[in-house]
Amino acid sequence: MCDEKNCLTNILETILCLQNVKDTDCDTLGCDKPYLGPTPNLICYNTRPINFFNCCTGELWEFPYTLGTTSNTSSVFRLENLEDNCCTCRVLATNPDTSSNEPYVLTSTFFTINLDCVSAIKCLQDTFISGV
């Protein structure tokens, strides 16, 4: 059961803490594990990509982005900031370089969402993203 804070906020606080490498502050468990990467000793990951589900429709939230000359939408995001019941995320795009080990690239598209509009989040596999 959740405490007085929004359950989603608790999870997002943990993700943000992990991404900011503040290990001593990461006492709260969130999503599927309290560290980035496949083992606690592996430090090569810097992002826990997430999806948001719309509270009204149950559908994935998607946001448009432009990467170079390509415009598309994505439902994969990187949490950048959390303030009260709102979070700011960066849209991640599928890496166009298929020979790369990095599944996503950063876009220059950010959005802020009120967590009252989110019914659930899904954490994707931890990864490294250049430029973070």
Query: Which of 38-47, 55-64, 105-114, 119-128 is the least confident region?
Result: 38-47
Asked if residue 118 has pLDDT above 70, the reply is yes
Q: Smallest Cα–Cα separation from 66: which of 91, 98, 100?
A: 91
Give yes or no for residue 5 having a pLDDT over 80: no
Q: What would the pLDDT profile of 14-63 be if each residue is shown by its tens digit?
A: 899 888 874 444 444 445 455 666 555 555 788 999 999 999 999 999 99
pLDDT of residue 12: 93
Res 33: pLDDT: 55
In a 10 Å sphere around its CB, with 0-12 CB exposed, 13-18 middle and 19+ buried, how is residue 95 labelled?
middle
Domain boundaries, the chain: 7-123
- Please state the rounded mean pLDDT for residues 92-103: 93
Nearest to 15 by CA among 39, 38, 43, 35: 35
What would the two tokens of residue 65 be?
A: 């982005």
CA dihedral 80→83→31→97, nearest 10 degrees, is -10
SS3 at position 66: strand
Beta pairing, strands 118-123 & 50-54: antiparallel
